[in-house]
Each structure stands twice: as C-alpha cells, then as structure tokens.
Amino acid sequence: MQVILLDKVANLGSLGDQVNVKAGYARNFLVPQGKAVPATKKT
C-alpha cells in the first residue's frame, strides 16, 4: 500500500516521502496515529 508520510518514521522515511508498506501496518498503525495518509491521485 502506498502512503505519504506526515512525520518522520524510523526505518521508513521522513516528512513527505511516498513509501510502500504492508496494508495492515498502514491501516492499524500509521494512519490512526496521524503519521501517514493513503497515497491517491488527489494526494
């Protein structure tokens, strides 16, 4: 799953980076904590 980071995340990237992570990691950790948003054509 492609996400855009809103904060620096250890071993993943920093603010504004578009990274590929497992869907569960994005849904259960990154997005709820406000550290990332799903990458779409709008974002």
34 belongs to a structural domain: yes
d(C-alpha 6, C-alpha 13), whole Å: 10
| Predicted pLDDT of residue 41 | 85
For the chain, the domain total comes to 1
Model confidence, pTM: 0.89
| Residue burial 12-42, b: 16+ Cβ < 10 Å; e: rest | ebeeeeebebeeeebeeebbeeebbeebeee
43 belongs to a structural domain: no
Q: Range of 26's domain?
A: 2-38
pLDDT in tens, 1-43: 999 999 999 999 999 999 999 999 999 999 999 999 999 988 7
| Predicted pLDDT of residue 43 | 74
d(C-alpha 24, C-alpha 43), whole Å: 20
Contact 4, 17 (CB under 8 A): yes
| Predicted pLDDT of residue 2 | 97
| Predicted pLDDT of residue 42 | 84
d(C-alpha 41, C-alpha 4), whole Å: 12
